[in-house]
Amino acid sequence: MSTSLDTLLETIAREVLNIPTLATRGRDVLDFHDVGVVALKRALARAYAAGCEASAKRIVSSLTITTGDQP
């Protein structure tokens, strides 16, 4: 994954799911977390919204604006 995507996912995990890191730490107590369905739904919605926003920015940046008298 790209660094910016990793950062986004880490931020969502930390802020929404209260998971301090997504790095594998080699111990079940550190690598597995109980997550409520409401928090999981919020995290998935936030990731989806971020993807939609990124796609919209790519589309807008690809648009060409022309000036003048063109049919």
**pLDDT tier at 2, thresholds 50, 70, 90:** confident
Rounded CA separation 47/9 (Å)? 7
Helices and strands (H and E) in the chain: how many:
3, 0
Rounded CA separation 70/59 (Å)? 22
pLDDT, tens digit (0-9, with 9 covering 90-100), for 14-64: 999 999 999 999 999 999 999 999 999 999 999 999 999 999 999 988 887
Q: What is the model's pTM?
A: 0.78
Structural domain spans, the chain: 3-54
Q: What are phi and psi of 26, to 5 degrees?
A: 80, 10
* Residue-level length of the chain: 71
